Copies of this chain bind each other. A is one copy, B any other.
Amino acid sequence: MTYCVGLRLRRGLMFMSDTRTNAGVDNVSSFKKMYTWERKGDRLITLLSAGNLATTQTVVSMLEERHKTAGERDPDIYEVPSMFQAAKLVGDTVRSVIREIAVGGGFKSESSFGATFILGGQIAGGESRMYLIYPEGNFIEATDDNPFFQIGEHKYGKPILVRAYDPDMSFEEAAKLLIVSFDSTLKSNLSVGLPLDMQTYETGSLKRGAEKRLLASDPYYQAISDGWSEALRQAFQHLPNYEGLEQAD
């Protein structure tokens, strides 16, 4: 499993991903699930991936290779004119990868080759945008009504996102929110694991913002993890107990 989140804020975008991959609980490794294509002053595109690791790595490698074989007819992620076209390029690529294995290869289980992506960034001349891309290659865009995307093990970490997200947050507050959301997930699902990768994108900058890898030993991560458990317990203590439990006769 995996857990990745992309947040759309007024000041830009914020991404976080875990690094655990596993095939069974006895075959666990660490892989970065955050990929960035940058040409300063022209574009910053970041991709988060969840799902079959062979599929996601193949998608990323194909996007890289197409850039190196420039001049041919396939689109190049450094040349697409808009974020919409970038999302379409990633969507077309993932569909073709999955089709090759599942349909071309004759293997039945399409779902087990599946992968889902969050793509965000900005290309000169366009807005800062963020998309959720499905294994079928289609995609949806983040809006004011739906300002964040989660992929992978999204359930444990959703309640705090729903309650504490604010589009006017600073990146520092958003980092706190994402760390709390990830911490709830890490505590409940062994297949999501540290370290965490974090990246910010400031709207209009057209270059990568802050990047950080959070290790288990990170003192801030520890402080948030312990502090949030304690804060939850205290918040819970301060709510009134239920008084309506009349005993039956």
Q: Which chain B residues lie closer than 8 Å to A184 at the CB level?
A: 159
- Give the Cβ gap from A177 to chain B, nearest Cβ, in Å: 7
Give the Cβ gap from A189 to chain B, nearest Cβ, in Å.
8
Contact A188 B235 (CB under 8 A): no
Contact of A188 among B155, B224, B242, B248 (CB under 8 A): B155
Could you tell me how many residues of chain A have their Cβ less than 8 Å away from some Cβ of chain B?
51
Contact A175-B242, Cβ < 8 Å, known A155-B188, A156-B159, A162-B188: yes
- The residues in A between 130 and 170 inclusive whose CB is less than 8 angstroms from any CB of B are 155-156, 158-160, 162-164, 170
Cα–Cα distance between A175 and B238 once the two chains are bound (Å): 14
Interface status of A108 (Cβ within 8 A of chain B): no
Copy count, this protein chain: 2
With known contacts A232-B163, A233-B164, A212–B172 Cβ distance under 8 A: no
From B210, B223, B235, B241, contact of A228 by CB (8 A): B235
User: Is A245 on the interface with B (CB-CB < 8 A)?
Assistant: yes
Residue contact A242 to B180, C-beta cutoff 8 Å: no
Given A208-B248, A227-B240, 17 extra CB contacts under 8 A: A156-B156, A158-B188, A159-B187, A159-B232, A160-B236, A163-B233, A172-B245, A176-B241, A176-B242, A179-B242, A200-B245, A209-B245, A209-B248, A210-B245, A210-B248, A212-B245, A235-B235
The 4 closest A-B pairs by CB, nearest first: A175-B242, A231-B235, A155-B155, A172-B241
Interface, chain A (partner B; CB < 8 A)? 155-156, 158-160, 162-164, 170-173, 175-177, 179-180, 184, 187-188, 198, 200, 207-212, 220, 223-224, 227-229, 231-236, 238-248
